[in-house]
Structure 1
């Protein structure tokens, strides 16, 4: 129906999209002319595990202003697509919504959209609820009463509770779409949306973090198992790295995570890439690994907890280009899997129904686009073109449904690579041993013959091939005799289900459990002095007993190297490079040589030696869009003074660079930065003397901290 309420002002959406998409246009692959099928090589590494698909991973947003939220067909449609999580009560409405009265202050509540109505649909669809409590105009007590109703009274099994929606949109950084009653003027007068940042106080990230702790205390007092999640800015997207002298002198994420510290329970980011073309939008998923890596780095650096223990949720995601047509279906499938392969726990598409946009509609490759962020039609007409009947699925629905052909909760994602950037691939090993492969042909003009190669997996039968064709309105399937190649048409999604090991009445061992790392350290004896011990829960025997475990080190190019075989459930590692990141997984092998699926991977970075003769403290002191400032303090721990010094380090992100510095002579070659003492600070006193330098730098949205600093060639400890 018409008259749907947008999730936030369109101008803000476009601003977000413009920042997140920065830098993608120049490198976006160009469509090639239609031609006979070209060859692409795809390799799947069955021993390189990327973790199991979590339960409740494939999510969708709902909204209390949506009168079609709980329509009779909805549960069946959601189940058919494999959607197993639902977020409620709907974006920015979360910060004005009272769950007890089903009233959104200043907004519209559609009939039959109460929490009880929502839960009826969620349960009928077997979907896990993700709930956003009212931070903007609510209280910790109101949130705790919701936990009481959901968890204790009705036992709905809500695992994740967000504290507010996009709280950074409360005026702190000049954009005002999120209601926040914590804001006030300098004279103490309360203000909410619409305040100028220079006049707004009390609503920055420090205030938010303090209140999150209050919400967390109240909610966990009701249910200690509730994950209470804090809102973070998405690395690379506005307003990440933006500061405000009055309310946010340091970046949002740094402020929030430092305040939460060891109580950091789970974190939320949102994801709306776009740009001005389908090609730019489709390449944006390459940013995801860097986003996750940066969030984990910030959790470690500022909260000082193991990021592996902190779930990351992407509770809103969509593109801003060709929303209802084939490019967004391609984006949806690739986007979900890329987030999950990088370790996030849940991704929620925006949204179930949203209504058509108000801009003139467009035709995309022969298909009508309505500018509707929903996966189902609302039947409305806001721009001169009427949508199809209510509940008609748009293309992204089928893109999501294709994931149900690829794998489900508990199945193991494994590494796969493609020789063509326009042909994106994702692979999953099923519990029975079969391998499923998603092929996302993002080229609008070229068919490809995809030649398939397998490591650590042997096909044993005829594959089933599922296809969602360009401008299709259903998913088709067929079988083929060959497991070594498949042809994919332009702008199509293809899932190839390949039978493999696990047949013939022989059951392989179960996958070993998640490895953990202990004894991780290094020494001053050399750059490759790192040591660690991997330990993992044992595998469950199949038809035959487990004989040994094979430990693999994964490489960035998708390959893996066998580094050890042991009959124990532990392996010592040595010769590790200081500052380098390593990823390992484990495969169990039974007495007849049958391998298990790989364990979930473990990733760690080798720290500098704690007993080094110098120590370095690195901290971002200010930031803005496209740049940041940082301060570095060097401490001399030795018993003798340092006379004349040079400090070196390397950037972990290729977009980081020093622009100008002070208290020393700065230079940069490639990713390596060197700063030499000034004429007046060349001596660092013995036994605790310090020298301080600083710089302003540039970035492309992400600025993780360097991992290794060396003073006059000697690696320093992190302080």
Structure 2
């Protein structure tokens, strides 16, 4: 059996699995806190296949009769197959694995599909890139389509960047070709040849795979593998591949990028650190959107699905902290626009056994036991759920596909909160108490929502193996240490009045700006009309977060005074003639571009990177008819962790995220009508290194070149 936990602790450097133990306090205190929900500040709809699960062909329990009802009860709506690195050695037609890999009986595609269909989960399939061919992948697509198997997404390979490009070699890749130079890849026991195994080859092969797969089914969504921003080997380069994996792959695929895949094993060094890791997710998604825009030229990067097809806690694997992590992590990804988050793994096998928080942790990255005993302690009976299962099951009490996620906040950092409005207008609030010692009495406050009726409170207590329910209050809830609580609060029902339906997906168009000022950006938002409820729709309110921007009786607005280089996010709420609001529309996000007709242009290119640092080159072009005598280029870092450490061909100052680079004594002039000057620098970063969006030369906005 391949035990995924070993791959990620030893090869990816995403954190060695730690052993954490904590005894419950003898006398836990009860503190106070507050949670505020803004029910009109939408964070998007819960995706159809948002909560997913991995399966593996070496798992003899993959298709046990107990699995479909367990997955359905937990609200799992996606299943990934055929399993991590095995995907790159597995032949779906012969049901065999290269290099002596083990395939368990009754784990073929048809058996998997029977389980997925019974569970009501859509399949996500990883085709064999490592030892397969475009023809083999296309045959799979054709077979699935012919059988009526609705495969949502097809991944081209697993972690292909682990093919030796950056030194570590755990992913099989037979596409590598011999060369006189390039990264070393060990073939069998003979590390005697060097091979080109990099992002350029992968991108070219993705295009070949996609072409063949689309010929088999034009509707197939074919996804490319990217590195996760901030996690090895993101932004790692070498002499043969001076641009990062993501830079190279997206630049080659351009508009052919249909969807992208990342994996997330945050690897906190201790329990408390692990539980804070989801705070990095917003930056990861923002960086991916920046890369899709900058490298692939995608005008609306939020339109490209991002799938997190593997994730796990990496420590405290089978105990309550992992349940807390799973619930918070899944919802944080979904709130940031990710299409699917898929837990690793269905069954995996016992690892290092320890005691965590008073419970036995079997070191098993499976969500269900397989009754193994590798370390002297026998696991529970086969298919017994571990704690992460119950954390995911709690999300079925919070959100259903199509429900609207809305903004909520907590006064206490150890209380993570997520809130969802359902189609009937009811509100569900998840309170994740990550304090191992203290209970909290939490006051509940609302904006844009009126409670009506008696709430139901669902609770997963510390180390519990069942979710309980009871009547509760709409104004307060008490949450115990290391617990998950969902408060289901009926909306203003019982009045016989139906609110308008949510407006459709807004679309941004006409994005432009001018050289006359920094706040000259304009955009037009247009959205499908809301369906009237009991009363006709009177107007639409456009929100940016919790701020009401404007109100209109039509289905479009023109926004002005926008700042060049700034990203904006909006949603729309319909209000009827009696003041009843709808649920918010899905979000729309866009960035105001610099003007195309500026008198200067800037080309910014990241030319190298390494853990914690990067290198970039900047070229300024003078498009004006007169020479520039003395220059200063200014920009703002998108990520607060970015900073220049050493610069050549200029001098720099930085205050916070604001950067100014001035000429050196020998390059103070830029010739007219196309003259250029170049400078470069090394920088430090905290994980993500998105490119600046807007540059100003001597105070004047430049276009991006």
Question: What TM-score does the superposition give when structure 2 sets the normalisation length?
Answer: 0.96
Separation (CA, whole Å) in 1 of partners of 2:78 and 2:219: 18
Separation (CA, whole Å) in 2 of partners of 1:194 and 1:206: 24
Alignment match, 2:220: 226
Q: Deviations over 1:52-74 (max 9, x none)?
A: 10111110000000000000111
Alignment match, 2:331: 337
The residue correspondences of 1:113-192 to structure 2 (distance < 5 A) are 113-151=107-145, 153-186=146-179
Which of 55, 63, 73 is residue 62 of structure 1 equivalent to?
55
The change in CA–CA distance for 1:717 and 1:356 in structure 2 (over 3 A counts) is same
The residue correspondences of 1:549-628 to structure 2 (distance < 5 A) are 549-554=540-545, 560-628=546-614
RMSD: 2.0
The residue correspondences of 1:523-534 to structure 2 (distance < 5 A) are 523-534=514-525
Separation (CA, whole Å) in 2 of partners of 1:548 and 1:651: 38
Q: 1:196 deviation in Å? A: 9.9
Alignment match, 2:252: 259
Separation (CA, whole Å) in 2 of partners of 1:424 and 1:455: 19
Which of 442, 446, 457 is residue 449 of structure 2 equivalent to?
457
Separation (CA, whole Å) in 1 of partners of 2:587 and 2:191: 44
Alignment match, 1:510: 501
1:17 corresponds to 2:11? no
Total equivalences in the alignment: 698
Q: 1:15 deviation in Å? A: 4.1
SS of 2:13's partner is helix
SS of 1:171's partner is coil
The change in CA–CA distance for 1:282 and 1:45 in structure 2 (over 3 A counts) is same
Alignment match, 1:211: 205
1:385 corresponds to 2:371? no
Separation (CA, whole Å) in 1 of partners of 2:590 and 2:181: 47
The change in CA–CA distance for 1:648 and 1:233 in structure 2 (over 3 A counts) is same
Alignment match, 2:281: 288
1:662–1:694: 8 Å Cα contact kept in structure 2?
A: yes
2:644–2:683: 8 Å Cα contact kept in structure 1?
A: yes
Q: 1:275 deviation in Å? A: 2.2
The change in CA–CA distance for 1:712 and 1:158 in structure 2 (over 3 A counts) is same
Separation (CA, whole Å) in 2 of partners of 1:503 and 1:702: 49
1:551–1:565: 8 Å Cα contact kept in structure 2?
A: yes
Q: 1:574 deviation in Å? A: 0.8
The change in CA–CA distance for 1:608 and 1:630 in structure 2 (over 3 A counts) is same
Q: 1:522 deviation in Å? A: 1.1
Q: 1:575 deviation in Å? A: 1.0
Alignment match, 2:261: 268
Q: Deviations over 1:527-562 (max 9, x none)?
A: 2111111100111111222121111111xxxxx111
1:399 corresponds to 2:391? yes
Which of 306, 320, 323 is residue 317 of structure 2 equivalent to?
323
1:433 corresponds to 2:425? yes
Separation (CA, whole Å) in 1 of partners of 2:162 and 2:522: 44
The residue correspondences of 1:418-497 to structure 2 (distance < 5 A) are 418-480=410-472, 482-497=473-488
Q: 1:611 deviation in Å? A: 1.6
Q: 1:365 deviation in Å? A: 1.1
Alignment match, 1:112: 106
Alignment match, 1:697: 683
Q: Deviations over 1:243-266 (max 9, x none)?
A: 1213x2210000000000011110
SS of 2:14's partner is helix
Separation (CA, whole Å) in 2 of partners of 1:420 and 1:710: 40
Separation (CA, whole Å) in 1 of partners of 2:119 and 2:6: 31
Q: 1:476 deviation in Å? A: 0.5
Separation (CA, whole Å) in 2 of partners of 1:639 and 1:141: 56
SS of 2:647's partner is strand
SS of 2:15's partner is helix
Separation (CA, whole Å) in 2 of partners of 1:612 and 1:45: 41
Q: 1:5 deviation in Å? A: 2.3
SS of 1:18's partner is coil
Separation (CA, whole Å) in 1 of partners of 2:191 and 2:297: 30
Listed as ranges, the gaps of 5+ residues in structure 2 are none
Alignment match, 1:654: 640
Q: 1:185 deviation in Å? A: 3.6
1:166–1:178: 8 Å Cα contact kept in structure 2?
A: yes
Alignment match, 2:657: 671
The change in CA–CA distance for 1:200 and 1:45 in structure 2 (over 3 A counts) is farther
Separation (CA, whole Å) in 2 of partners of 1:301 and 1:193: 36
2:620–2:678: 8 Å Cα contact kept in structure 1?
A: yes
Separation (CA, whole Å) in 2 of partners of 1:633 and 1:191: 36
SS of 1:303's partner is coil
Separation (CA, whole Å) in 1 of partners of 2:657 and 2:26: 38
Separation (CA, whole Å) in 2 of partners of 1:295 and 1:580: 16
